[in-house]
Structures are given as structure tokens and as C-alpha cells.
């Protein structure tokens, strides 16, 4: 048989040859360094047989930055972790241990709880395994043999996995440890040069809070110690930027156990909120959206009609109102369907673009909550675009353009994932071909880099998931653009066409911030609290040196405030140095020190970070106008002024 190499050349191999055989045929050095085989966008264990005509790429230890090469390294390290834990803690039961973004984890049921202080001991055991050396051996087994083996080992979680497994069942063995695993894995442990266990967490078996809570050990691994060191530096920087720390420090928001996972927004936090809202309203108006407002609570029948019951019922807050079942909305879609259906619609009204930033409520599982990034009260910048089939491509393209513009305001680059038809799709292949092509064309038109996620679309239509890369290179999922013909149909929505007959309707669901809460949390971490001038809750702080300087400092504040800038005067009886340091901690973009030598013609201005200059008040106004225009506005001033 023959396989195709990345340079399009052919490699002839005997029938049944594996990826490792292919590497050996190319050269012994390649075979020694090979870690994984990639074929047509998927990964394959080097031990598995190849097919005639298969396109292959052999990844090696030289591909240390490749995400798939890191994936297999971390997968094998997770198995070393399981081996180490079993040796150190007799009676422990093992569950699952996959690689994840930036690392891996393994879930255990320990006889007695362990603590963070125990991780170095486990790490030492992994290092001992690496010093001894491990090789992975793959073997396919029948389900009954697998169940018998794990029953004898007392591994009930593995038995349950075998009972629900689909397709071939395989074991991977290293040393005296055998695990149930589909693979792929490294040939041996030599490529694993750096390992770090990073933390503990609780996790319910199979993500179901009705099941046993297990202990999850997180870790990461790299092909070199320098790569691990760089990663740990980024982790420390991420901790410094953590919005859960900076939010209270910068007086933006806090959480209370009186209403768990629902932020209480402070005045300075609301400045951020209203700046985002100002952009949303401005751009919606410019792009032809109509602002609407719909109820928060509906009867249960509404959600059965929309399809949210029973699929999302467990995540919705339900109420009994005088013996009648109601629920708080977790999505805006039903209300917008009712709005559209309030009267007959003509093709002349389409496309019709409704927009609404309404609070939504979701009863998220406690273990999934995370600061502003996962909350129970979610305020989406939601919109539903009702359109004809012929208008789909233009509407999707316009939404993608909107997203590209919006993320660009914050210095974040956008990327996307195009989720295509699943196996349980409804509708014809012709419809799916047309709709997927419309979404893909919109991404190409706007030069948005994207990947395709086959089979990940909703059953009623394809979707685009939008991502942003922050200052640390982390990728955040933000908005979603989803094409749907089913919900309009469920509500009986149609429009009257030019032929004076009723036609089926499409709706584009879209949220570009994703939610205000999540977007602000990401912005805090992206900027590390050092917000650009136009977004900063307090843009300028004036420090009068003495009591006699308070009146002229207030005059400068009033002049800048009249221009729409957010200004404070710090009149505390502290030294100027102390007040400057406090302004740095609070990340104020500009500080003006007003003393005997200052006047409106000559002000001592200090930029965040320490740079100092002397400027006239008029020059400052012009500079601030230019900085404020970065958001497409003349000046800041979208929200309430913080107390002076």
C-alpha cells in the first residue's frame, strides 16, 4: 500500500503497516523521535495500522509547540499521575484522566482527603517513574475481559466506563499499571522533560451532582523545562490579572452569599457597563437594529413551545404562581418570537432586527461557577434577526463584520469556529449546504480566521462561535451567531411574500459580547485593570498639594468634567507621594499634581506607569478628546460619575 506524506510524495509500505513503520521507513531518527501521527485533521496512535492512500504527518519531539504533540505528551503524563497515585495511596479508585487545554487532569476517589501540600510528594513519584522510564503498550480487548479485569482490581468507575463504551475497547499499560484508554499515547516517557502538578478541585463523577464527588488533580507537562518555566510565568501573570481579585481591588463589583454567583456592581463598575452599553446602542442604531424589551417571566407553555423545556429545564429557575407553572427566561428568543408574531408580517418589513440587553437567569451548577465568567444572572447583548432565505448570507456577513469591529475596539483579534451539521440534523442536505456556505462565506468576506467543527452544529442549523485572543494569548469564547428555521416554525411565524402567500422564516440568533458580565471579566484580565483612557472608570485624578490648591484643582476638574471626562479630586490629608502611589494601584490613566507652580497654562501631568510631562489645560483637553475617540466617541462620560 501507499501513504501520502505532507510534501505530497508517496511512501510505499507493506499492508498492515503502522504509523511507526512509516516513520522507520523514512529514517531511524524520525522513528525514535516520533510521538504521534496526524491524518486529515485527526490524531492517531503510532501503533495503529494505516490505510492505503491515507495522508499522514508524523509529529516528533521537535514539534514541541504543536497543540497535538503537547496533547499526546500530556495524555501520557496523566497516566503516569494515575500510576503514582495508586502506588502512594492504596485503596484509591481511579476515574478518568484526559488532556485539556494547557495540561491534563485525573479524577480519583481517595480513601481519605488529600491537600495541596500533598502534590509535591505525588510529583516526586512521577519523577521517579520518569527516571526509571516507562513505555506504553496498547492491546485491544473484549468488553467482558475488560469488565472482569477492572472488577478484580476494584475499579468500579472503569467497569461503568466499559459498560457504556462504544466501539473497540483498548488497554494501555506502562510498568505495572494498566488503564482503560482509547489513546493515543507516546512510545515511551523519554520526551516528558518537565511536569508540574498545579492544583486540586472537586468534580462530580460524569459531571452529575447526584454522583460521588471525586478529587481532581490538575497538572501540565512540556517537552522542555524552559517551556514549563515560561508557562508558569504566564500563569503567575494571569493570577495578577485575575478579575476576581482586581474587581474588588478596583472597586468595580463584589459577590455576596446573599445572592450567590450574581455580582453586585459598584459605581465604577457601572461606568464600564455603560460604556459597553453606549457602544452597543450606537452600533445597533447605525446597523438598523430596533431596541425592544420583553418580560423576564413566562408561563411554562412558552418554553415548551420554544423547545427550552425539557432540554434546558434543569438550568432554569421555575416558579409556581397561583398553581400555574412559570419560569424565568434563560434566553430572549421566546419573547422576540412573540413580538414578531404579534401581527401579520410582510416581506417589505424584512430583515427585522430586534435587540435587547435583558438580564437572563440560569441555575448553573455550583461547581461550574467562576467569577464574572460563569454567573447565574446573565445580561446578553442579544439580538434576533428575522429574514428570508435569500437574505441569510448578507445578514450573517453583516453580523460577522459587526463582531470584527467590536473586538477591534479592545485590541483583541477575532477568530471563529464553524459548527456544521450533526447526525441528528433536520432539513435537507441542500438546505444545510446553502446555510453552511452562507456562514463560511461571511467569515471569509471579513477575513476572520476559522476552523471547522464537523457535526457540532445545532440540530436545526449551523452556527459560528466567536473567540478573542487576549494580551496573554489566551483564547476566550465570546459571542455566537446561530441560524435557525425551527423556532419560528414552532411559534407558527411566517411572512407574506410578493406572491401574496405565506412563507417560512429564518432567524439569526446572535450575541457579540456574549454577556456583559463575562465580557467585562475578560476585559479586566486582558488589560490587567489598566483600561484604555476611554474605558477607565476614573480617567483623571487631580491631587492638590495643599489646602490653598483645592479651589483651582476643582476648577480644572469642572473644566474637564464639562468636556465629558470622568475626573476626581483627591483632597485627602496624605502626602502627595502616597496619593500618587494610590492612583497607580487604582490604575488611573492620568494624574495631575496641582501646587504653587501649576496653573491652567502649565499642569504637571503623570501618566499611568510613571511618565511625567507639563501641559496646558487646553492641550490636555485636546489629548483627552483624541484618547476618548478610540471608542468611536467624542468623549467618555457614558455612565454615572464616581463620587468626588
Is the same domain home to 554 and 507? no
In contact, 534 and 631? CB cutoff 8 Å: yes
Q: With bands split at pLDDT 50, 70 and 90, how would you rate the model's confidence at 637?
A: very low
Is the same domain home to 452 and 498? yes
DSSP 8-class letter at 10: E
Residue 376 in any domain: the answer is yes
Query: Annotated catalytic, 362?
Result: yes
Is the same domain home to 386 and 479? yes
Residue 133: the pLDDT is 96
Is the same domain home to 391 and 446? yes
488 has pLDDT over 60: yes
pTM, rounded to two decimals: 0.82
Residue 365 in any domain: the answer is yes
Query: Annotated catalytic, 380?
Result: yes
Residue 71 in any domain: the answer is yes
Residue 32 in any domain: the answer is yes
What dihedral angle (degrees, nearest 10) is formed by the CA atoms of 431, 434, 437, 438? -110
Residue 248 in any domain: the answer is no
Residue 317 in any domain: the answer is no
Active-site annotation holder among 381, 382, 484, 570: 382
Domain end call among 36, 60, 84: 60
Is the same domain home to 520 and 415? yes
Is the same domain home to 343 and 370? yes
Is the same domain home to 41 and 169? no
Is the same domain home to 220 and 100? yes
427 has pLDDT over 80: no
CATH number of the domain where residue 54 is located: 3.10.20.30
| Domains held by the chain: number | 4
411 has pLDDT over 90: no
The residue range of the domain holding 51 is 2-60
* Choice among 68-72, 74-78, 149-153, 465-469 with the minimum mean pLDDT: 465-469
From residue 267, give the alpha-carbon distance in Å to each of 408, 537, 571, 572, 640: 26, 9, 20, 20, 7
Cell numbers for 511: 450575541
Active-site annotation holder among 44, 174, 380, 539: 380
Is the same domain home to 107 and 144? yes
Instruction: Name the strand (E) or helix (H) holding 104.
Output: strand 103-109
Query: Annotated catalytic, 384?
Result: yes
Query: Annotated catalytic, 382?
Result: yes
Active-site annotation holder among 509, 518, 579, 606: 509
Residue 104 in any domain: the answer is yes
Active-site annotation holder among 33, 134, 333, 484: 333
Q: Which of 15, 28, 48 is nearest to 185 (CA)?
A: 48
CATH number of the domain where residue 372 is located: 3.30.930.10
CATH number of the domain where residue 78 is located: 3.30.980.10
Active-site annotation holder among 93, 147, 185, 463: 463
CATH number of the domain where residue 595 is located: 3.40.50.800
Residue 583 in any domain: the answer is yes
Active-site annotation holder among 134, 345, 384, 549: 384
640 has pLDDT over 90: no
Is the same domain home to 464 and 370? yes
Is the same domain home to 458 and 556? no
Q: What 3-state DSSP class applies to 555?
A: helix
Is the same domain home to 498 and 358? yes
Q: With bands split at pLDDT 50, 70 and 90, how would you rate the model's confidence at 634?
A: very low
Domain end call among 473, 493, 525: 525
DSSP 8-class letter at 344: -
Query: Annotated catalytic, 333?
Result: yes
Amino acid at each position: 500500500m501507499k501513504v501520502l506524506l505532507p510534501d505530497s510524495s508517496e511512501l510505499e509500505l507493506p499492508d498492515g503497516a503502522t504509523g511507526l513503520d512509516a516513520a522507520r521507513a523514512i529514517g531511524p531518527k524520525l522513528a525514535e523521535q516520533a510521538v504521534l501521527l496526524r491524518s486529515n485533521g485527526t490524531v492517531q496512535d503510532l501503533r495503529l495500522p494505516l490505510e492505503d492512500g491515507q495522508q499522514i504527518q508524523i509529529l516528533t519531539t521537535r514539534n514541541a509547540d504543536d497543540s497535538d504533540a503537547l496533547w499526546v505528551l500530556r495524555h501520557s503524563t496523566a497516566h503516569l499521575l494515575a500510576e503514582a497515585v495508586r502506588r502512594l495511596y492504596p485503596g484509591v479508585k481511579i476515574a478518568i484522566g484526559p488532556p485539556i487545554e494547557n495540561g491534563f487532569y485525573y479524577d480519583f476517589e481517595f480513601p481519605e482527603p488529600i491537600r495541596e501540600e500533598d502534590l509535591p510528594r505525588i510529583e516526586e513519584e512521577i519523577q521517579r517513574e520518569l527516571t526509571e522510564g516507562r513505555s506504553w503498550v496498547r492491546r485491544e480487548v473484549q468488553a467482558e475481559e475488560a469488565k472482569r479485569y477492572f472488577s478484580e482490581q476494584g475499579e468500579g468507575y472503569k467497569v461503568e466506563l466499559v459498560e457504556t463504551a462504544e466501539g473497540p475497547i483498548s488497554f494501555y499499560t506502562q510498568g505495572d499499571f494498566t488503564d482503560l484508554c482509547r489513546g493515543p499515547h507516546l512510545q515511551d516517557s523519554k520526551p516528558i522533560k518537565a511536569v508540574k502538578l498545579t492544583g486540586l478541585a472537586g468534580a462530580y463523577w460524569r459531571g452529575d451532582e447526584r454522583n460521588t464527588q471525586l478529587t481532581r488533580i490538575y497538572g501540565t507537562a512540556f517537552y522542555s523545562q524552559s517551556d514549563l518555566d515560561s508557562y508558569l510565568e504566564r500563569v503567575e501573570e494571569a493570577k495578577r490579572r485575575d478579575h476576581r481579585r482586581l474587581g474588588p481591588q478596583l472597586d468595580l463589583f463584589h459577590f455576596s452569599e446573599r445572592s450567590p454567583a450574581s455580582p453586585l456592581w459598584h459605581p465604577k463598575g457601572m461606568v464600564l457597563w455603560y460604556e459597553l452599553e453606549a457602544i452597543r446602542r450606537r452600533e445597533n442604531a447605525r446597523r438598523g437594529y430596533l431596541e425592544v424589551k420583553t418580560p423576564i417571566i413566562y408561563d411554562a407553555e412558552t418554553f415548551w413551545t420554544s423547545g427550552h423545556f425539557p432540554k434546558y429545564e434543569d438550568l432554569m429557575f421555575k416558579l409556581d404562581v397561583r398553581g400555574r407553572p412559570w419560569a424565568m427566561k434563560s434566553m430572549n428568543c421566546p419573547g422576540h418570537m412573540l413580538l414578531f408574531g404579534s401581527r401579520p408580517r410582510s416581506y417589505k418589513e424584512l430583515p427585522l432586527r430586534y435587540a435587547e440587553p435583558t438580564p437572563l437567569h440560569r441555575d448553573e451548577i455550583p461547581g461550574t461557577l467562576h467569577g464574572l465568567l460563569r454567573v447565574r444572572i446573565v445580561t446578553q447583548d442579544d439580538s434576533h434577526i428575522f429574514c428570508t432565505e435569500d437574505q441569510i448570507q448578507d445578514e450573517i456577513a453583516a453580523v460577522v463584520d459587526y463582531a470584527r469591529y467590536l473586538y477591534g475596539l479592545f485590541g483583541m483579534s477575532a477568530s471563529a469556529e464553524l459548527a456544521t451539521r450533526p447526525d441528528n440534523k433536520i432539513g435537507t442536505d441542500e438546505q444545510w449546504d446553502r446555510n453552511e456556505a452562507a456562514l463560511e462565506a461571511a467569515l471569509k468576506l471579513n477575513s476572520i480566521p476559522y476552523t471547522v467543527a464537523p457535526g457540532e452544529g445545532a440540530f436545526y442549523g449551523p452556527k459560528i462561535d466567536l473567540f478573542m485572543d487576549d494580551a496573554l494569548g489566551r483564547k476566550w469564547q465570546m459571542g455566537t451567531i446561530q441560524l435557525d428555521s425551527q423556532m419560528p416554525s414552532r411559534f407558527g411565524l411566517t411572512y407574506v411574500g410578493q406572491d401574496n402567500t405565506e412563507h417560512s422564516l429564518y432567524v439569526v440568533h446572535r450575541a457579540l459580547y456574549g454577556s456583559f458580565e463575562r465580557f467585562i471579566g475578560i476585559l479586566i484580565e486582558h488589560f490587567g485593570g489598566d483600561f484604555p483612557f476611554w474605558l477607565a472608570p476614573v480617567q483623571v485624578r487631580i491631587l492638590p498639594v495643599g489646602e490653598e490648591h483645592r479651589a483651582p484643582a476643582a476648577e480644572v476638574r469642572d473644566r474637564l468634567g464639562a468636556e465629558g471626562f470622568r475626573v476626581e479630586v483627591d483632597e485627602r490629608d496624605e502626602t502627595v507621594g502616597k496619593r500618587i502611589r494610590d492612583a497607580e494601584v487604582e490604575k488611573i490613566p492620568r494624574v495631575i499634581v496641582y501646587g504653587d507652580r501649576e496653573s491652567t497654562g502649565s499642569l504637571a501631568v503623570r501618566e499611568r506607569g510613571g511618565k511625567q510631562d507639563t501641559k496646558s489645560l487646553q492641550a490636555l483637553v485636546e489629548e483627552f478628546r483624541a484618547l476618548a475617540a478610540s471608542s468611536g466617541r467624542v468623549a467618555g462620560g457614558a455612565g454615572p460619575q464616581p463620587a468626588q
